[in-house]
Chains A and B, each alone.
Chain A
Amino acid sequence: MRDLMALTARDDVISFSGGLPDTSTFPPGFFTELMGRVATGSIAKALQYGPTEGLSDVRDAIALVMEAEGMKVDPDAILTTSGGQQALDLVCKILIDPGDVIVAEAPTYPGAVPTFCSYEADVIQVPMDRDGMQIDKLREELAQLDREGRRPKFIYTIPNFHNPAGVTMALERRRELLQIAGERELLVLEDNPYGLLRYEGEPIPTLYSLDSDFVLYAGTFSKILSPGVRIGWLVAPPPVLRQLALGKGSADLCSSSISQYFIAEYFQAGPWINYVRSLSELYRRRRDVMLDAMAEHFPREATWTHPEGGLFLWATLPDYIDTTDLLARAIEEQVAFVPGRAAFVDGRGGSSMRLNFSGVGEDDIREGIRRLGEVIREQVGLYGTLTGNAHPERRATGLGPADPSPVPTAPAAEAHLDNLRHLTRKRAG
């Protein structure tokens, strides 16, 4: 899969495979102004090493960002990291020995899979439905672990606009998860890169804001400002934070000082939330364009999620289509996605795909989804021919879906995503 993924970066490919925010929207003049201020006011410090835990101005800015999502946090409880990815790595570094159990969602963040695997964790993935991690299934897994005399080191979750599934954990589920964490004294790693990128519906309190006792909180500037600055953060109880800081010191001493001074100037320059709002509006439109295009071009056998925010949606095809192989065909048509298998540790997800809508312009989204729909329809049709069960294919009319009725259940669907199949499809027009 890795070799196929290398091809998705080609210039001539419309790629829905990245997790890319659209950084082209940041005003160049504003960037010049901010970096000019860094140069005139802090050049020596910006070019120097900095404190391991991060600049105090940056930790103050992080506290502001968290406050915008209803979280009160002491800046001293924050460890600045080199992107959210380092936050995951550090948590594993201090907590995981080979064979230790991590509980994650199924599917989970594809970037977490190699991190967890590199620490030789035993990752147990709990199914999700449209309301996020299924807590009854979590209880079953924990009970099974009890019987085996094992205990997870932490539960990893992306409650808001999940990557890759695109779903959001319901409030009641959040409370239940925290109740389990409290009863069992289990740590929960809440990864929240997208919480401020909400396009519809009301915000749901973060796990950390509901009960911070057993929650390690990971955030990032990657999706609300820039992934290029490589600045994320962790919030943790003091004893854990000290260990994390030691781990960070050994990993890279400190995160980029230049980036941190840039962020500090950015937050002093004005209402940072306005840029987040402009991104949200841009991504909301792109999400809608993608959903409309999928309704128009994907065959009726396909189903997908309707994310209320974030960057991704998750589509599931009939189980006779392997999306890793389909990617090879799609690349021929110069369009790409992430095969679902990347979001599992055990080979599941073979008929699913993650599609990113934030990093691609509207025209390219329409064209890319049209091409993708064509190759999927081609394979659905071929399967019908091969098995003698040819379905009449729904043809695109160019005016919207010919049949905008609820999505039928795909044949022989994978059980772990059954409930994701019936999410509302946005109607075109």
Chain B
Amino acid sequence: MSRVAVLKGGRSLERQVSLNSGARVEESLRRLGHEVIEVDVGHDLVDRLSADRPDVAFVVLHGRDGEDGTVQELLEVLDIPYTGSRVSACIRASDKVLAKHAMHDAGIPTPDFFAFSETAFRSLGAAQALPAISSRLRFPIVVKPASQGSALGIKFARAESDVPTALIAAFSYDKKVLLERYVAGRELAVSILEQDGQPRALPIVEAVPEEESFYDFESRYEIGRTRFICPAELDPAVGLQVQNLALDAYRLLGCSVFARVDLMLDTETSEPFVLEVNPIPGLTETSLLPQAADAAGIGFDDLISRIVAAAS
């Protein structure tokens, strides 16, 4: 039995999802016999951790501060073992632009993209390059904030006239945005869990939106709004290719213990593309990592137990 501090909530826009994930993790930890210290991350984080000195910090923060290496850095300084990926992997994975450049350079297929900061538009006349960007990527284009998790701020630009509005929306969430070629196809998620120190891909989950034309932020977390198929019904060879690609992305970014890799499988070419790697995926009732683990015969408590055991 250990004293486990569950770091949840925080100031990120994904606070509510994190609280939901955190509550579920706490229940599980108690069932496993651990002493749980609930920490809604705020200004007093360092004081609380210094006073409580937990054996392990279970990080279930999503988005800013939690998934981008900030909290992990503090835990390193405080010398408190913590779950999941290390600082550098969090930084690489949470910045979609960095991650996509790394994948592109390593030959891991990811949709073509361009990324710009607000300054590029305000001070360098990047707006003049928008027609060229549009013609290179071809419509529709996906416009998204560089570092936001989930689907917050993601817009589709179906024509050139949609681009400025989509950019304004994305810049509401981040100072840097991605313009990415839209891959029409099936939305797949490969969760990865290390076993005996080796990353292994769990069964693939396919997300099928029930109502929305796009797998949006709210439907990701609300029961009934998205149908999940696990294991996804894929040709075995394609499934293996998708899982291997996810493992390549996981290793490339240097993730540890667990993560979730989101991909699109192009309907026309059956070619998979990695969209992003989430170093701290959701652990709510509807989250994909627990579903994938369950399909692999790993119950939620077992999953949490393995994650805690691998904390360092």
Contacts and interface: CB of A to CB of B under 8 A. Distances in A.
Nearest to B167: A386
Contacts of A321: 168
Contacts of B127: 385-388
Secondary structure of the A side of the interface?
Answer: helix
Contact of A328 (B11, B13, B16, B121): B13
A147 interface: no
A387 B168 contact: no
B135 to A, nearest CB: 17
Contacts of A320: 164-165, 168
B168 A385 contact: no
A25 to B, nearest CB: 30
Contacts of B164: 320, 383, 386-387
A325 B172 contact: yes
A331 interface: yes
Interface in A332-391: 379, 381-383, 385-388
A387 B161 CA distance: 9
A379 B168 contact: yes
B13 A3 contact: yes
Interface in A294-331: 320-322, 325-326, 328-329, 331
Identify the interface centre among B14, B169, B172, B218: most chain A CB within 10 Å of its CB. B172
Secondary structure of the B side of the interface?
Answer: helix
A6 B218 CA distance: 13
B173 interface: yes
A320 B165 CA distance: 5
Nearest to B222: A2
Contacts of B14: 3
Nearest to B15: A7
A385 B167 CA distance: 11
A325 B218 contact: no
B118 interface: yes
B17 interface: yes
A348 to B, nearest CB: 16
Interface of B: 11, 13-17, 118, 121-122, 127, 130, 152-153, 163-165, 167-169, 171-173, 217-218, 221
Given A322-B165, A382-B171, 12 more contacts: A2-B218, A3-B17, A3-B218, A4-B13, A6-B16, A321-B168, A322-B172, A325-B153, A331-B13, A386-B121, A386-B168, A388-B127
Q: Which 7 A-B pairs have the closest CB atoms?
A: A386-B164, A325-B172, A329-B172, A325-B169, A3-B16, A320-B165, A6-B16
